[in-house]
Structure 1
Amino acid sequence: MNSVTLFLILFFIAGITDVADGYIARKFKMVTALGARIDSVADIFFHIVLLLLLFLNYRWVFTENAALFVAILVIKFLSIIVSKMKFCKIIFLHTLANKLTGFLVFVAVPTVMLVENNSFLPALLYIALLTALEELLILIKEKEVNENRKSLFIK
């Protein structure tokens, strides 16, 4: 078994367990603030490892889309600063757009690795950019934050 195959197996297991844990927690009414926080931290760690892997092995993904990656990272960093200053803690929202973006990343990674096709990456990155902007606007706009807010337009 080569390293790409092993990675993709582990990647799919991580994705399935990420979806399953939230589903199981909601179904059995075991949702907790700590569980949601752990899920957010795990998602961040997962995305950092993923970005590092892509950067080291598929650098063209970054070089061809550098401006979008930088814009997304700057907005995400601003969201962290706003949430820390305004609510005294770092907040990650579970919006519908964040969930959609996570799903699209989950589909995109194997496509990049197996097909080395990037024709859809700019569209994915623009969606991620809009998602990051929505999260920042919610954090700026709201006096009290609901981490499970659906979107800027739906509470």
Structure 2
Amino acid sequence: MALIIARFFIGIIIVILSCVEVEYYKTIVISLLAIGVLTDVFDGIIARRLNVSTQSLRRWDSTVDQLFFISVIAATYLKYPEFYEVHWVKIALLVGIELLTYLVSFLKFKKEIATHSIGAKIWTLFLFATLVDVIIEGNSTVLFELFFWIGMLTRLEIISIILILKTWANDVPTFVHALKLRQGKPIKRNRLFNG
């Protein structure tokens, strides 16, 4: 929980730093962004190692992940609005499909999503790389395109996972695993990443 809370405050600090003139801004913000991503990677691993990973903790993790990246995106918008002006249509599509995943989950299960799918984890790495690219260059081309298409595909997979599941579940690696859960079959989860 400490890592989850730390990630929340790191996001706020990044927004504050983007509102003021700070020497070595890029280095500081990229370092904080990297620390935030590392807290996201290790919070689940540590919780599983300590055998304290609960549905509640996984739901908090997912919610704070969203808030953290919204904060970083807002911060980069404050510093590099031109990037967002150029790519606003694709960004709006990503935001729309992300909101749709939450809407589908709330309509079906009355809970937010916490699938922590493998695709979502890959997309997070592309989000991190794209944000670093924007912070360094004020722009992103190839990485942004990869981020966009991987984001669209992984959000569609998450929607399919939600629709396939009979009951709400966290840590569902792929839609194939969701199909097995629907059939009442056990699924194999990676102990480090989603088990």
Scaled by the length of structure 2, the TM-score of the pair is 0.72
Alignment partner of 1:24 is 2:53 = no
| Corresponding residue for residue 48 of structure 1 | 70
Q: TM-score scaled to structure 1, two decimals?
A: 0.89
1:3 aligned onto 2:25: yes
Among the aligned pairs, what percent are the same residue? 26
Q: How does 1:31-110 map to 2 (within 5 A)?
A: 31-110=53-132
Aligned to 2:136: 114
User: What's the RMSD between the two structures over aligned residues?
Assistant: 1.7
Report the alpha carbon displacement of residue 87 of structure 1 after superposing the two structures with TM.
0.7
Alignment equivalent of 2:157, drawn from 115, 134, 144: 134
CA distance in 1, matches of 2:78, 2:133: 17
1: CA distance, partners of 2:165 / 2:44: 25
Cα deviation code 1:80-138 (max 9, x no counterpart): 22211211122232100100011111222222211344122112111111111111122
| Contact 2:47–2:53 under 8 Å retained in 1 | yes
Please say if residues 96 and 150 of structure 1, whose CA atoms lie closer than 8 Å, have aligned partners that are also in contact.
yes
> What is the total number of aligned residue pairs between the two structures?
155
**Residue matched to 2:147:** 124
Q: Deviations over 1:9-47 (max 9, x none)?
A: 221221222212211112222211222122112101111
Q: In the alignment, residue 177 of structure 2 is paired with which amino acid?
A: I
Gapped regions of structure 1 (runs ≥ 5)? none
Structure 1: distance between partners of 2:156 and 2:83: 22
In structure 2, runs of 5+ residues without a counterpart are 1-22, 179-195
Q: Distance in 2 between matches of 1:61 and 1:142?
A: 38
Q: Specify whether residues 87 and 52 from structure 1 end up closer, same or farther in structure 2 by C-alpha distance, changes over 3 A only.
A: same
